[in-house]
Structure 1
Amino acid sequence: MRISRLQITNHRRIQDFDIEIRRHAVIVGANDVGKSSILRMLNLVLGTSTAGLYQALTPGDLRNPNEPLVVNVWWNDFTEKNRRPFPSEISIAEDQETEYLLVRMLVEAHPEDEEAITVRRWFPESGHERMPSREQLEEFGWRYLRATRSSSMIEGAHSPVRTLLASADLGSNEESLKILLNEFNEELSQNEAVAELLGRVAMHLSRAMPRSVSEDDFAVRSVADPSSDVLQDVSIFLNRDGEQVSLLEQSDGARQLMSMTLFDLAEGAANVLAIDEPEIHLHPTSQRTVADLLSGEGNQKIIVTHSPYVLQRFEPAEVISVDRHGHCHQIGNDKLSKVEKVRAHWWSPRLLEALTARFVILVEGDADRVIVEAVATKLGIDLDRLGAVVIELDGADKFTNVFPLLGPRGFGPTLLGLVDKAESAKWVDAFGGNPGDVVDKMVFISDSDLEDEYTRALGGSVAAQAFIDGGFCKERAILQSSGVKALEDVSEHEAAKFCRRKGKVEAATCIAEVLDTCTAEKIGSVARLVRKLDELSRQ
């Protein structure tokens, strides 16, 4: 069985949503937009005891304290084994064929205690209001790996190592191992040094305890109980250079990589594995390795991530993007074919970084990115602090390929664009509506292009000197190109024409070095863009 749909209303961090959960679900977005809250709500509905619900939930989880917080989870694809614990809870859809199971959690502020809540969790289409039984919770097969995982994830009481060892079938060797453990414990108990140690322990404890104790009241033995689990005190070690090294002694990255891999292996019988930030401590290549493991067939994965390398390994249909306002977006079924057409070229870590940002600035090329970043710096607007990423498209015509992914009907981050005047019509039309509602609000148009704007801002001679000082060209080259004998005679038009012909990126890099607050403000389209970005970040 797997989760097919999720609906959450009136949560403090997340805007109301009702989304389809496809094969897997990868939840992505900037920091502090509510991604982990989605996993938390799922864990409360599917993997927490009733007592745990009252410990974890507070009135602060409700956006409107006068309304209930409601979480609905739909399941489908049942096996015969899945059906047995739900004899009256599984429903038949309107098509008279499809089966589904709806479980609901409803949280309300307590009417008489402002610091308390009431919680109901039940199957609303079952004809009864009983809470899920322990057997039913176990049949959900929900397993959750938090972002705050520690070393206990490797070797704790409920770690995947312990789960794997507990599932090991020792066969006929189990009896012989029990005999060996008993013999070991017996030899240990007869050892004179151990007996002397226990005598000293008993003597000292007798001074503090209400009754005296003797060495016969204690035993030194293996933690593993030969009568139950002979592997209780056994662990997995790595063989390195002739030594056996504990998994806990590995690097943070190696531990995380092993813990995720072992978690996936140990929980192979689970229906749904939920993992918050699988990329923690991992190098990008290891992030891709883990993502390949998680994105395969088998049980359903629900993942929260900031990593474009993890995101890239999943299908666009499986991605749920959370924007800066807490709204969830996914590509609609009617748009998936259009996205698939451009996937080979655009489903890359560079573009997917946009889904982890609060704001996305699309520009035509690298030269535009250099100028945008420089102008923002000179105007005191920190793009990184605002959570803004600048994505270069390698040509204005590529915008129509990217817009289905990043536009309002795609993954929906807050999108701004910078484009030359000649190419602007398609960009403005893509957003739809009145051009007056788009220009200088979402699309910012350079007149006639960015090279014209920054040479006008600096003046032709200053721009020419910047090219020379930055090593972009020799003085003679730009004088010959401009048809003049002195730098002060180089016009704005000729300076712009020269850098278009000889190399826009190198020219933009030189210009970025000489900008100050005054000249940055004069590059009108870019200044308006970053000012608008700053304004949006304050809303």
Structure 2
Amino acid sequence: MRLSRITIKNYSRIADLDLHVGSHLVIVGANDVGKTSVLRAIDLALGSAAQLYQSLSVQDLAAADEPLTVAVQFVDFSETERAAFYREIDSDPLTKTESLDVRLEVVVDPDDTDSVLISRWSPGRGEVRPLTREQISTLGWRYLPAVRQASAAQLESPTGAVKTLLRALEPDLGDERVALGEILNSFNSTLAGSAPLSELLSGVANRLSDAMPRTITPEELAVRSSADPTASVLEGVSLYTRSDDGYVPISEQSDGIRQLIAMTLFDLAEGAANVIAIDEPEIHLHPSSQRTVADLLASDRNQKILVTHSPYIVQKFDPSAVVAVDPNGVCHQLDPDRVTLEERVQAHWWSPRMIEALTARIVIAVEGVADRLIVEAAARTLGISLDRIGASVFELGGAENFPAVYKLLGPAGFGIDMLGLVDYAEKGKWIGAVGGRERDVVGRTVFVSKADLEDEYCRALGVQVMATRLTNAGVAKDFDALRAACATEDISSMTPEAIAKYCRSSGGQPRVNRKVPSALAVSKGLTIAEVQAMESVHALLVEIERRTDS
């Protein structure tokens, strides 16, 4: 079985949500927006019932007079799963589609308003039946939280990856299990007959008798293998790496290596699990290792639900699998019935830098690197911290790409507030992508540089200032070289249009692009007056401040 839908209502840690789940689910967002709370809520609905009352309180309800509900829907059942939920699996009378709903409901106890009452059941055919231990096991839910250390306990504790993996292997040992049991019995018998060990136990018994309220005899103590041959012959076995210096326990590897091993073994050990949830799988991992883990997680061995900050992990999953949590705790995902992304859009834009846009409060779309440099420098000059207010400048790599990216990130996609800075000649495509009348779009969502950004900043700074900054930055060798390139007698006869043409040109060399060096030169020493004179850029930044202050 696999998850197909998750609904959470009245949870104080996250806004109400209703998510569709395909092959996998990847949750992204800034810190403290509620990403982990989504996993926690699902774990409360599907995990062990032992800690429910310790894990939930009145404070978890957004509104005390309404129930907190978590509803999880499963589809695609095996015969074993149907047998375990034969009363609970529902079948649509028209489509014959089968589904299993699991629901958690938390309400304030009417007799003790500081406490809660918790119900967890599967509605099925209208019966309210608590889930049995067998049914919880059949759901196949596994959760690895982020509050963990890549330590020996994570790998080798009774619930760690190594022990889980070995326990799963034990039934397959067959005749070898009997042989190993005999060896363990022989080993324990030899230990019991060892004279030095018997002497050691006598000394320990004497010391314990002095410390405890009763006498301890040597016969009450034993040195033996931790494995009980009647229960498990692999209980005392662990995993080591081998080198020229001998065998080294995996618990003694570096944090990053331990995390990689743990993640790999966790996935392998839980191969029979239907859904594996991992919070921040990138912990302790170098980017190259994050990419390796991403391949592992994106496989179809089982369904994954991930919370991550890693662009390398997000990149491995289809955009339809991603949920972006905004600063208000609201979850956004692509509607598969409304948005069909072209393959070229997915391939070109679903890159590591996309996660910054997905987690931003506002995305500022610009045509290229030079535009980004100017916008960021202008913001700094005006004292606007784009990072602090959650604004991300996103390079499109060409004005023609705006419609596709707006469709992906904007209202019809992930619902991110999106603005754009574009040259006058390209404004029609951008206005068309946003939709609506030009007078309602320009200056509100799309900001137009006339004729382009180079022309605008050259007019804003003036000929003399531009000439000085270009020569000081080495974009032009000296004033004479700049004058010659602009075909003028001297600097005073140069026009802003001529310098703008120089800034956007290649100088006749195919691999030379002056746009970025010119933008860097302009950005050094920008004044407030110069920024204000760059009308489109200034208007864009004023609008960003207006939106983030509201």
TM-score (normalizing by structure 2): 0.92
Show the 5 A alignment for 1:360-375.
Answer: 360-375=363-378
Q: Tell me, yes or no, if structure 1 residue 27 matches structure 2 residue 27.
A: yes
**Partner of residue 494, structure 2:** 490
How far 1:77 sits from its partner (Å)?
A: 0.6
Q: Tell me the residue number matched to 2:521.
A: 510
1: CA distance, partners of 2:361 / 2:243: 45
Offset of residue 193 of structure 1: 2.9
Please list, as runs of the form range in 1=range in 2, the aligned pairs for 1:3-82 lying within 5 A after superposition: 3-49=3-49, 51-82=50-81
1:206-245 equivalences in 2 (<5 Å): 206-245=209-248
> 2-side partners of 1:258 and 1:240: how far apart?
17
The residue aligned with 2:103 is: 104
Give me the whole-angstrom Cα distance separating, in 1, the residues matched to 2:16 and 2:338: 22
Question: Structure 1 residues 16, 437: CA separation in 2 closer, same or farther (over 3 Å shift)?
Answer: farther
Query: Is 1:186 matched up with 2:202?
Result: no
- Partner of residue 480 from structure 1, selected from 477, 484, 487: 484
Percent of pairs with identical residues: 49
Tell me if the contact between 2:410 and 2:416 (Cα under 8 Å) persists in the aligned partners: yes
Change (3 A) 1:212 1:236: same
- What amino acid is the match of 2:48? T
SS of 1:514's equivalent? Answer: coil
AA of the residue aligned to 2:536? S
SS at 2:341's partner residue?
helix
SS of aligned partner of 1:265: helix
> What secondary structure, in the 3-state scheme, does the structure 2 residue paired with 1:498 have?
helix
Instruction: Map 1:105-504 to 2 at 5 A.
Output: 105-150=104-149, 151=151, 152-168=153-169, 169-474=172-477, 475-502=479-506, 503-504=514-515
Counterpart code for 2:16: D
Rounded to whole Å, the distance in 2 between the matches of 1:83 and 1:406 is 40
Give the CA deviation at 1:119.
Answer: 1.6
Q: SS of the residue aligned with 1:349? A: coil
C-alpha change, 1:437 and 1:59, in structure 2 (3 Å) is farther
Q: 1:531 to 1:255 in 2, by over 3 A?
A: farther
Shift of 1:96: 4.2
CA contact (8 A) 1:321 1:328 kept: yes
- Deviations 1:354-379, CA, capped at 9 Å, x for gaps: 22333322101110011112112222
Partner of 1:105, secondary structure, is strand
- Amino acid aligned to 2:138: E
Partners of 1:324 and 1:413 within 8 A in 2: no
CA–CA separation in structure 2 for the residues paired with 1:109 and 1:292: 44
One-letter amino acid of the counterpart of residue 102, structure 1: D
Change (3 A) 1:527 1:112: farther
Residue pair 1:375, 1:521 contacting (<8 A) in 2 also: no
3-state SS in 2 of match to 1:18: strand
Change (3 A) 1:153 1:441: farther
Q: Which runs of 5+ in 2 are unaligned?
A: 507-513
Secondary structure in 1 aligned to 2:87? Answer: coil
In structure 2, do the counterparts of structure 1 residues 171 and 282 end up closer, same or farther at CA, with 3 Å as the change threshold?
same
Write the letter of the residue equivalent to 2:78. Answer: T
What is the aligned partner in structure 1 of residue 510 from structure 2?
none
The equivalent of 2:538 in structure 1 is 527
* Secondary structure of the structure 1 residue equivalent to 2:106: strand
**Contact (CA 8 Å) 2:276, 2:302: kept in 1 or not?**
yes
Q: Once structures 1 and 2 are overlaid, which stretch shifts more, 29-38 or 477-486?
A: 477-486
**Counterpart of 1:220 in structure 2: which amino acid?**
V
CA shift, 1:271, in A, is 0.9
Question: What is the CA deviation profile of residues 219-270 of structure 1, one whole-angstrom value per residue up to 9, with x for unaligned ones?
Answer: 2222222332121111011112342111122222222222111111111111
**C-alpha distance in 2, partners of 1:526/1:149?**
45
The 3-state SS of whatever aligns with 2:142 is strand
Q: 2:509 maps to which residue?
A: none
Query: Cα distance, 1:410 vs. partner?
Result: 0.7
**What SS does the aligned partner of 2:231 have?**
coil
| Cα distance in 1 between the residues matched to 2:483 and 2:234 | 83
5+ long unaligned stretches in structure 1: none
Distance apart, 1:404 and its partner CA: 1.6
TM-superposed CA distance for 1:537, in Å, is 3.8
* Paired amino acid for 1:533: I
SS in 2 for 1:26: strand
| Alpha-carbon distance in 2 for matches of 1:117, 1:456 | 66
Specify whether residues 61 and 421 from structure 1 end up closer, same or farther in structure 2 by C-alpha distance, changes over 3 A only.
Answer: farther
RMSD in angstroms over aligned alpha carbons? 2.2
**CA-CA distance at 1:126 after TM superposition:** 2.7
